[in-house]
Amino acid sequence: QKEVEQDPGPLSVPEGAIVSLNCTYSNSAFQYFMWYRQYSRKGPELLMYTYSSGNKEDGRFTAQVDKSSKYISLFIRDSQPSDSATYLCATRNAGNNRKLIWGLGTSLAVNP
């Protein structure tokens, strides 16, 4: 079983739509959960960073972690063409071994 699974899409939505992006993971030891945005020819840019289960909101973005089902989500409200990018989920254990385990990334296009 792969450690982090993410549907690569592509996902295409009209401007203003609510976008839902999801990942599942297999290792119950994972404690930190991240969403990164990656534009073409750029590095991953941190969007959301959460510890354990729960919700976190930042502007139009909401991250949810459900550790019981090993499911993480990112919601984008009022999506904009500038949100068009690849969204990568990542996770890691707590402690000194800090390697991030990544999903494949979902390609999102927001059409004006």
Which residues would be at the binding site for other proteins (CB under 8 A)? 4, 32, 34, 36, 41-46, 49, 51, 88, 90, 94-105
What does the alpha-carbon distance between residue 21 and residue 64 come to, in Å, rounded to a whole number?
10
Q: How far is the CB of 109 from other proteins (least distance, A)?
A: 18
Is the CB of residue 54 less than 8 Å from the CB of residue 63? no
First and final C-alpha spacing in the chain: 38
Nearer to other proteins, 26 or 111 (CB): 26
Is the CB of residue 71 less than 8 Å from the CB of residue 20? no
Nearer to other proteins, 14 or 98 (CB): 98
- Token match 């494949």: residue? 104
Nearer to other proteins, 14 or 96 (CB): 96
- For residue 22, count other CB atoms closer than 10 A to its CB: 16
Q: How far is the CB of 42 from other proteins (least distance, A)?
A: 5
Q: How far is the CB of 99 from other proteins (least distance, A)?
A: 4
Nearer to other proteins, 79 or 103 (CB): 103
